[in-house]
Structure 1
Amino acid sequence: MLEEDHIASILNDSEIRNATKELKKSFKDDVAPMLDISDHDFLALVFISPAIAIANSYQDVNIFEEVSINAKARKLSKGDFFIQTDPVAHAIKYFLDNIDKWEDHFYEHLKYIIDIKIDHDKIDNKSSNVIEAFNNSPHDLALVIETFFINEGEIVGEEKEISKKELEKVKLIIEKTGLSYLHPVKLFLNTYKLKE
């Protein structure tokens, strides 16, 4: 899974940093004018937005999903927020309240970043095993998939049970972030098993 230093590294790219600042300004102006959040922590929110959207598939995030999302937020946040409220966790509330309006904007930004940061020419197109396919591809691809879709303690290649509605959301996110045509991601999708 991506961590704090990965977010900092992504923001070292001036084009990504400027695009992130613009998106943050639009988000704040629209839904959270009083939100105090750094560019780093805002980008962390954008990176966990797929996990939030999947958890919200039924318009109700349960306590286990909330704990998982907050754990991701803490890993990506800048600094140590064990004493005070994590700004990413605080921003999640604004995103959830306005998810229908903002999730596509966040996915577009993720696609923009993925297109810049992941060398698509080095992605495995032949392996039949999902772990092998990710191992033979740029490491950042696996980190992105883990951040978007994997809970702590789960493994990319493990079979995961999911509802039909959640799977539809996963497929939508994969498509909107530009990952749907990548071979390792197609193999990853096959690890989902519909709940009966």
Structure 2
Amino acid sequence: MITGSELITLVRDVDLYNAMTALKKDFLKVDPAFMDLSDDDFISITLISPSIGIALANGSVSHYEEITLRRKARKLSRRSFFQKNDPLAPALRYLAYNFSEWENRFYELIKITMHSSLKANNVVLDTLKNPQALTGDLKRDILNAPFIFVKFLSFLFMEEDDDLLNERAITEVELAKIRQIGVELEIDNVPIFQEFCDSFVIRSGDVVE
């Protein structure tokens, strides 16, 4: 999973910071309760958005999923936890109920975040795009992949880091959503992302005829 310290490093990118500031400004207009959201809070909400999209693919966010989302957000932003009026929880709840309005804008910010970390090193980027870099063994390929890309893959699409290396069963609509998000983030043509998607097991009874 991405850590708060790593996130601080990423936000140093000027293009990313400007894009984040613009989106945050619009988001804060929604509710006065959001005004206390820090930059850490907001970028954590942004990175949680794919998990919200995947949860909503099944129709709604369950109570368990809401708790999981909040826990993931806390890994990146702990400051709000100690505030008397925590702005993070209502912001996540609002986003879940109004996701279609914000989804594409949040994915665009994630795309900028990911690409800002990769564009600085052409060697890493070329390796990531090279299908010959794969061995056919996802676990080994995950270990060999660029560190920051694996971090993103884990945080955006998994509950825990270990899930990347274990067999994962999801519904067909969830997998379709992951693939769609990959298109939005422009990583759908990255071989290891394709291998990652192909590794999911569709839960019995969830296949749509």
- State the match for 2:144 in structure 1: 136
- State the match for 2:17 in structure 1: 17
Matched, 1:146 2:151: no
Query: Distance between the aligned counterparts of 2:160 and 2:40, measured in 1?
Result: 22
- State the match for 2:79 in structure 1: 79
Structure 1 segments of 4+ aligned residues over 4 angstroms from their partners: 82-86
Matched, 1:62 2:70: no
What is the deviation of 1:48? 0.9
| Structure (1 or 2) with the greater helix fraction | 2
2:127 to 116, 122, 131: 122
Q: After the TM superposition, which of the residue ranges 159-168 and 56-65 deviates more from structure 2?
A: 56-65
Q: What SS is found at the alignment partner of 1:181?
A: coil
What is the deviation of 1:80? 6.4
Distance 1:86 1:189, change over 3 A: farther
Query: Distance between the aligned counterparts of 2:85 and 2:27, measured in 1?
Result: 20
1:193 to 180, 195, 201: 201
Distance 1:45 1:80, change over 3 A: closer
Distance 1:144 1:60, change over 3 A: same
Distance 1:88 1:129, change over 3 A: farther
What is the deviation of 1:17? 1.1
Preserved CA contact (<8 Å) 2:10 2:116: no
Preserved CA contact (<8 Å) 2:61 2:96: no
- State the match for 2:31 in structure 1: 32
Give me the CA root mean square deviation. 2.0
Query: Distance between the aligned counterparts of 1:153 and 1:14, measured in 2?
Result: 29
- State the match for 1:175 in structure 2: 183
What is the deviation of 1:87? 3.3
User: How many equivalent residue pairs?
Assistant: 195
Q: Which has the larger radius of gyration?
A: 2
Amino acid at match of 1:121: D
Query: Distance between the aligned counterparts of 1:129 and 1:85, measured in 2?
Result: 47
Preserved CA contact (<8 Å) 1:49 1:106: yes
Q: After the TM superposition, which of the residue ranges 94-103 and 110-119 deviates more from structure 2?
A: 110-119
Preserved CA contact (<8 Å) 2:48 2:73: yes
TM-score (normalised: structure 1): 0.90
Q: What SS is found at the alignment partner of 2:107?
A: helix
Q: What SS is found at the alignment partner of 1:128?
A: coil
TM-score (normalised: structure 2): 0.85
Q: What SS is found at the alignment partner of 2:201?
A: strand
- State the match for 1:157 in structure 2: 165
Query: Distance between the aligned counterparts of 1:18 and 1:136, measured in 2?
Result: 32
- What are the ranges of 5 or more consecutive residues in structure 2 without an aligned counterpart? 119-123, 205-209
- What are the ranges of 5 or more consecutive residues in structure 1 without an aligned counterpart? none
- State the match for 2:121 in structure 1: none
